[in-house]
Amino acid sequence: MPVRVPVRVPDLRICVTAGANFGVLERTSVREVRMQQFDHEKLDAYGIAIDFVISAEAIAQGATRGEGHGDLADQLRRASTSIVLNLAEGAGEYASK
């Protein structure tokens, strides 16, 4: 099951889809997206991690063009996504219920 990680950009929300189709960026108008902010989205580290995922994806796309770098690109994608997911999970454990 893909995990959608929202990224805020002025007037756009970019959803990075992690999973089988990782790297697919969808642009959706903010008006079309429910504007609920979760606890993990308030963390500075979460914003930095999202920026890292986007940078890592750009690097991974460049690495797959060369020969023999596919495994490295896949590992970079999984590792960067793991950071974001772990932050979200950790923040959820301490959220007020």
pTM over 0.85: no
Give how many domains the chain has, as a whole number.
1
Task: Write the pLDDT tens digit of every residue in 45-67.
Answer: 888 999 999 999 888 887 766 66
3-state helix, strand and coil shares in percent for the chain, rounded to the nearest 5: 55, 20, 25
Phi, psi of 27, rounded to the nearest 5 degrees: -105, 125
Q: Which domain holds residue 21?
A: 3-93
Contact by Cβ (8 Å): 52, 46: no
Q: At what angle do helices 70-93 and 44-63 cross, to 10 degrees?
A: 170
Helix (H) or strand (E) holding 56: helix 44-63
pLDDT digits (tens, 9 = 90+) for 12-34: 444 444 444 444 445 544 444 44
Residue 60 near residue 5 (C-beta atoms within 8 A): no
Helix (H) or strand (E) holding 76: helix 70-93
